[in-house]
Structure 1
């Protein structure tokens, strides 16, 4: 049964993000300009992602700027080093740097999104493939307009 929950605080966004991550079995697709509000380096999220990647999961992140993750989420960089065969990160081309939405899609059926990355207002949708349709299309277009980026080490090795 489809469930849609609205939120407007950082804590609620991060709670809904964790709920979407926990439900992922096969694929996670995330887009945010810099992932500064995503809790990718927190211990519990690291455990969720490790469990997901040990299964058959694949994780794809697209962003405008990887510096926040590089500076603040060493756990995520370690995860990238250890599971690089299941994680791909891309950085957008200049032509689409004006995009300001933010979302995470799990298995094409679960979604958490903020309508604008500068604000906390958004929604989470569970068991709702119809709600993920537009964000999935956006992610595919963003992915096509992006280049490999965010490597596990400074040299990209």
Structure 2
């Protein structure tokens, strides 16, 4: 069993390194929440490769956001990933009533979490092998997911 490790970061580079560590640790499920998912680098080549390997192995990716506009404009690789692995990827947009939520997090297999305390800042922490650190983000994500509507369909008809 892995020892719990918590790492703090305060830069985009630090966040990016911890995101890649989370993706490398993922086996079954990744849940992401961010207002626009811009900092999650879903269009980067290495992130795309990591997500494809994860999904090819049977993993499930769920992404919740306020608006998909940034992904639609800037992440064509992610849109191809969504088309190629539509059975393992789901995206939802929050209703206007939840647009005040400003945190940002990535939960991996209910034991690892990457959190930014506010989506306007890069300050946050990554906790690995720490199920206790996942509890609050897990409850928040589940509530956000329940209230959100499907977005970013793999085809124009949603099929």
**Any stretches of 5+ residues in structure 2 without a counterpart?**
none
1:156 shift after superposition: 4.2
Deviations 1:128-155 (A, max 9, x none): 0000010000000000110001123455
The whole-number CA distance in structure 2 between the counterparts of 1:64 and 1:154 is 20
The whole-number CA distance in structure 1 between the counterparts of 2:42 and 2:24 is 13
TM, length-normalised to structure 2: 0.96
SS in 2 for 1:79: helix
Aligned to 2:79: 77
**Any stretches of 5+ residues in structure 1 without a counterpart?**
none
TM, length-normalised to structure 1: 0.97
Aligned pairs for 1:4-153 within 5 A: 4-153=6-155
Deviations 1:31-71 (A, max 9, x none): 00001111111111111000000112000000001000011
Task: Say what the alpha-carbon RMSD is for the aligned residues.
Answer: 1.0
The whole-number CA distance in structure 1 between the counterparts of 2:89 and 2:115 is 21
Aligned residues: 157
Q: Taking structure 1 as reference, are residues 154 and 71 closer, same or farther at Cα in structure 2, changes over 3 Å only?
A: farther
